[in-house]
Structure 1
Amino acid sequence: MNTQLSDYTLVWTVLTVSILLSTLAVGSTILMWRKRVGPQPMQVMDYQPVMRESEKNGRDVNDTLVDWGPETLQKILADELPDTEVIVVSNREPYIHEKTPDGVVLRKPASGLVSALEPITRTCGGTWIAHGGGSADRETVDQQDHVAVPPEDPTYTLRRVWLSEEELKGYYLGFANEGMWPLCHIAFTRPIFRAADWDAYQAVNRKFADAVIAEAKSDRPIVLVQDYHFALLPRLIRERLPNAIIITFWHIPWPNAEVFSICPWREQILDGLLGSSILGFHIQLHCNNFTESVDRFLESRIDREGAAISYKGGTTLVHAYPISIEWPKKPKFITTDPSRTLRDRHGIPDDVKIAIGVERLDYTKGVLDRFHALDEFFTQHSDWIGRLVFLQIAAPSRSDLPAYKLLHEECLALVAEINDRYGTDGYQPIILLDEHHTQEELAELYRAADICVVSSLHDGMNLVAKEFVASRDDERGVLILSTFAGASRELLEALIVNPFDPSSMGEAFFHALTMPEGEMRERMQRMREVVRSNNVFRWAGSMLVDAARLRKRAALTSASDKHKQNNRFSVMA
């Protein structure tokens, strides 16, 4: 009996010690995490991720101390990828030539993709291949359809590809934007798939593949394929340039496998993308969704721990690379108080707060939802009527498509309704500007605003959030950010909201307007640190470092195979 009691005592002692050690380990892990991430401020909503997306990715944690800039990128290319030619492919071009009554003018499109990629291409050099859609684009290229850019100090070549109206209608407006765009964004707009659009999409992808082959000066270029317009392009390039490093970046969300199954050509889309050496998404969730889609629809070997997919004799790395912006220099164009300029232009009194929204007029951006939240805010806090103006930049977009025409009409109607309800002769709560603005004009707008609202219903990243933060060197202003935008994984100090809940989003307006100065500065300082360190050069550099590793691994494998073959011949001799 005493022996049995002794055994029980021993068992309980071991269990108690084990539990104690486990508790200490968990506590130590939590303490280490808190030290690394820092204290997390209270949020309006409970949608905040536990860690920043860049901190979840172990590959990126150690490079946070690197000062990422053009010089860092150039050093990576010189040291890790010497003599490598870089080719960028996108639908949208970085510079557009347009005819005007005063002659040909050059403009830069208001595009998150262009604002992210242009400084990278400017740094790396090489060739950017894109659709030439400007009315004077043909008049400004040479016989090879080339034009040197940027015009004031050329550092790379823009190669324009010409598309017919029929090709644009089927490939761009049809398959890409009536099919893939709503499919991937899950914004409750039904995707439309037509066989004729698919034929045009395939034909245009082949046309761009021909352009890449024509521009490649070697059989080992690095080709940066951009976005959902070119899902077939990586495979088409791989078949003709088997030694190329093909990095494809998907700028929009990737849906779960069940939603993706809606696409009639799902296997072909996946096959095309798996021609890539590296396939990048903004956040890990989109990587996981893509991998699950491959697992469901293709015969492949998936290494989940290594984030790699083996298919058709090749291997594709599937990684998260959160895109960002070029950290701005002190803007020279702001010579006056931006707030004063904006107030004078729109007749906004000094004692009225200004909230802004900036985007293309697209049903994924939640423009109507933020107006409904503003309506709810005025209902619950009527003392703010007359004390807050919402200035909405809604640049026209894809206006030939029925869904966008309807959205424009709904937007105009809702703005009129809210302005009638709360406005007076000298006060309109919403000012809608459905026109394009330059980056310089947007920078002034960001600086003038008290609040910036990003209410995406589903988004890849959304660079407006980061542009707003980067512009606020006065460390003021509040960012209200949708939990469904990829930026919410990094900008944790924003007021994270659910745009489908107008009541709680209205309360976020109240929180932002009444936020103490100290809290506002603390939030903005931390977000600025994140955007400064996680800038666009780090985004591109991470992909190029991975590309260099792939190239070295391939060289080692080739050398090893050659060594084995020589040994085999020696034994035979």
Structure 2
Amino acid sequence: MGAAPMNNATATFLSTLWRRWTGPDDPAVASPVPTRVGYRTNARDRQRDRRFTDGIYVEWSPKTLTQLLHEELPDVEIMVVSNREPYIHNRTPEGEISLQLPASGLVSALEPVMRTCGGTWIAHGSGSADHDTVDEHDRLRVPPAHPEYTLRRVWLSDEEIDGHYYGFSNEGLWPLCHTAFVRPLFRAEDWEAYRAVNQKFADVVVAEAGREDPIVLVQDYHFALLPRMIRNALPKATIITFWHIPWPNGETFGICPWREEIIDGLLGSTVLGFHTRQHCNNFLDATDRFMESRIDREQGSVILRGRDTLIRPYPISIEWPPAALATQGSIAECRRAVHARLGLADDVRIAVGIERFDYTKGILDRMAAVHDLLTQHPEWKEKIAFVQAAAPTRSKLGAYDKLQSDAVRLADAINAAHGTAGWKPIHLVIRHHDQREVYELFRAADVCVVSSLHDGMNLVAKEFVAARDDEQGVLVLSSFAGASRELSEALIVNPYDTRAMADAFAVALRMPESEQRDRMRLMRDVVRQRNVHRWAAQMLIDAARIRRRETIQALTADE
């Protein structure tokens, strides 16, 4: 069958985008395949992987995490603070209340920990029916079917959301930290809203705390000022702050007009965690540049106004095994279901990309790589379909709205250039996908592509690996995602290099099953061993040591 004809407008648009992403006509492209199979580790990682002093290896799970809490932190009160809530209640057009589980890496990482630890999760109540499902204290026991912890919702006005969330957090800090070549916007009124919302959450933490020394897990860039505010109100609290996005180098961070206030706020933490050692080093460099403090780089700590903050890498991960796998059919069943839903012939190979519509994720770049693959290797026409599942997000912001419209136009242009009457290479599915649908796509796929232009970790890569209990499938992974530091058996690519991305697709599609199995086994070992319970355990072990040390110091001071 011949390709469908293109009109002039489509041809012009495709040509413009093609020039944007294509490098030199004849680049010297290095193979995207890693030269050595086997994940890298070091003495510190190996030590932390062992829970007990006898050197006995322990698989981190809800059971071992519970044991840790019982032994190291008996009777501790744990609180989590995040902008996004783990359960959202919305009202349908028919007036019914529906429950939504947000597609969020932060939520998917923390929710299993909270189910294990109990305690209170404080978050913005964003759902249209959230008010209708809480008690008189704005609390709700979750998960709904088997309650194990308390969700405390905080209400924000439209003005607070615009200034704190859309303004300073996502037009300022987000592009600043991701260095994604979108100019950060810093407005004084957004900063005032950001500070006010941080104080509102600090007041709720203090009100909800049942004791003077809780462990408070502060999550992400929405709450840079919160640790210091909590420290001022609860001096004995153990505050563990985790920054889920990258931290840029000191010169880049210096763009922010309120750089000193942000660093000071974060240094109210007992422990400040990032995904990678590089992000820790960048934070230390920024602190050294802008703050009068004492930095111990060997120990990874900062002393500010007489108080010590540990700066540590804690690579975040996922639950093992993922709960979503329990309801999945076999690999063959998932393939049949996805092929049928998309109208694909049985022999068509499937590549998938799954994330929010965000300019840091490299969605346009991977679609351009599909175009290059089909241009350089026309034998793959009618034999591959790329499925991009993308959830709309932050659509009030111009950069996000433009990304979505550009993605639609690019998909249409590529389909017009290469598609036939019965086949199109790009399937762009713009809607929220629940975990069941996501894991079905993972299990149906021959290739999963994660082409982040910059990412703190990226849990999609780890979820794909966890979904493949058949030990098949190939992960194409950006070198600028934190996950590439752990999943070195993926095909590591530069997402800015379209030709290399296309070559990686070709290598993935031709990879023998035996090589897929070798790579996938090693990556699954990493994700299994370094799961989300280990991530939480590392931070809680460090917190327990600090609490013991502070207790000893207090006793010594009293003598």
TM over 0.5: yes
Which letter does structure 1 place at the counterpart of 2:557?
D
Shift of residue 52, structure 1, vs aligned partner: 3.7
Which residue in 2 is equivalent to 1:522? 518
Q: How many residue pairs align between the two structures?
A: 522
Which letter does structure 1 place at the counterpart of 2:227?
P
Which residue in 2 is equivalent to 1:29? none
Deviations, residues 362-407 of structure 1 (Å, cap 9, x unaligned): 0000001101111111111111111110000011010000000111
2:497 to 497, 501, 526: 501
2:32 to 28, 44, 67: 44
Distance 1:343 1:543, change over 3 A: same
Matches within 5 A, 1:239-254: 239-254=232-247
Which letter does structure 1 place at the counterpart of 2:350?
I
Which letter does structure 2 place at the counterpart of 1:507?
D
Distance 1:355 1:169, change over 3 A: same
Pair 1:544-2:540 in alignment: yes
Which residue in 1 is equivalent to 2:294? 301
2: CA distance, partners of 1:68 / 1:62: 10
SS at match of 2:327: coil
Shift of residue 71, structure 1, vs aligned partner: 1.0
Matches within 5 A, 1:257-272: 257-272=250-265
2: CA distance, partners of 1:216 / 1:47: 52
Which letter does structure 2 place at the counterpart of 1:371?
M
2: CA distance, partners of 1:493 / 1:486: 14
2: CA distance, partners of 1:67 / 1:237: 34
2: CA distance, partners of 1:509 / 1:137: 43
Which letter does structure 2 place at the counterpart of 1:382?
P
Deviations, residues 64-111 of structure 1 (Å, cap 9, x unaligned): 922100111111111111111000000000000111116111111010
Shift of residue 60, structure 1, vs aligned partner: 2.5
1:47–1:497 CA contact under 8 A, matched in 2: no
Which residue in 2 is equivalent to 1:342? 338
1:354–1:449 CA contact under 8 A, matched in 2: yes
Which letter does structure 2 place at the counterpart of 1:509?
F
Matches within 5 A, 1:141-152: 141-152=134-145
SS at match of 1:188: coil
2:101 to 96, 108, 112: 108
1:364 to 352, 360, 364: 360
1: CA distance, partners of 2:404 / 2:545: 47
2: CA distance, partners of 1:160 / 1:212: 11
2: CA distance, partners of 1:240 / 1:532: 39
1: CA distance, partners of 2:119 / 2:394: 30
SS at match of 2:364: helix
Shift of residue 47, structure 1, vs aligned partner: 10
2: CA distance, partners of 1:47 / 1:505: 17
1:139 to 97, 113, 132: 132
Which residue in 1 is equivalent to 2:10? none
1: CA distance, partners of 2:37 / 2:74: 39
Matches within 5 A, 1:155-194: 155-194=148-187
Which residue in 2 is equivalent to 1:273? 266
**Which of 1 and 2 has greater Rg?**
1
Which residue in 1 is equivalent to 2:57? 65
2:164–2:190 CA contact under 8 A, matched in 1: yes
Shift of residue 62, structure 1, vs aligned partner: 4.1
Which letter does structure 2 place at the counterpart of 1:264?
P
2:68 to 72, 76, 87: 76
Which residue in 1 is equivalent to 2:412? 416
Which residue in 2 is equivalent to 1:216? 209
2:38–2:489 CA contact under 8 A, matched in 1: no
Which letter does structure 2 place at the counterpart of 1:562?
D
Which residue in 1 is equivalent to 2:386? 390
Distance 1:70 1:327, change over 3 A: same
Distance 1:55 1:174, change over 3 A: farther
Which residue in 1 is equivalent to 2:82? 90
Distance 1:54 1:250, change over 3 A: farther
2: CA distance, partners of 1:258 / 1:52: 30
1: CA distance, partners of 2:135 / 2:49: 45
Quote the sequence identity (%): 59
Distance 1:81 1:239, change over 3 A: same
Distance 1:536 1:82, change over 3 A: same
Q: Which structure would you say has the larger RCO, counting Cα contacts within 8 Å and 6 or more residues apart?
A: 2
1:206–1:233 CA contact under 8 A, matched in 2: yes
Distance 1:350 1:400, change over 3 A: same
Shift of residue 50, structure 1, vs aligned partner: 10
2:219–2:243 CA contact under 8 A, matched in 1: yes
Pair 1:489-2:477 in alignment: no
Q: Structure 2: state its 5+ residue gaps.
A: 1-29
What RMSD in Å do the two structures reach over aligned CA positions?
Answer: 1.7
2: CA distance, partners of 1:153 / 1:56: 37
